[in-house]
Amino acid sequence: MKKFFVCIFLIAAIAGLALAFGGSSAERAEGADGAAYLRIHIRANSNGKEDQAVKYLVRDRIVEFLTPVVAECATKQAAMEKIGKMLPSAAAEADKVLRANGYTYGARASIRQEQFPTRVYDGVTLDAGVYDALIVELGTGAGDNWWCVVYPPLCFSGGNGNVIYKSKIAEIIGKFFNK
Per-residue pLDDT of 8-44, as tens digits, reads: 444 444 433 333 333 333 444 444 446 889 999 999 9
What's phi and psi for 101, nearest 5 deg? -105, 15
pLDDT in tens, 64-122: 999 998 888 899 999 999 999 999 999 999 999 999 999 999 999 999 998 888 888 77
pLDDT at 49 over 50: yes
In which band, very low, low, confident or very high, does the pLDDT at 160 lie, cut at 50, 70 and 90?
A: very low
Cβ neighbours around 92 below 10 Å, total? 14
Q: How far apart are CA 53 and CA 23, in angstroms?
A: 37
Question: Which pLDDT belongs to residue 125?
Answer: 83
Q: How far apart are CA 161 and CA 154, in angstroms?
A: 10
Question: Which pLDDT belongs to residue 120?
Answer: 82
Q: How far apart are CA 17 and CA 116, in angstroms?
A: 30
Pure H helices in 21-114? 49-71, 76-85, 87-100
Between vectors from CA 83 to CA 59 and to CA 100, what angle results, nearest 5°? 35
Question: Which pLDDT belongs to residue 156?
Answer: 64
Total residue count of the chain as it appears in this document: 179
Q: How far apart are CA 108 and CA 92, in angstroms?
A: 9
Q: How far apart are CA 48 and CA 88, in angstroms?
A: 26
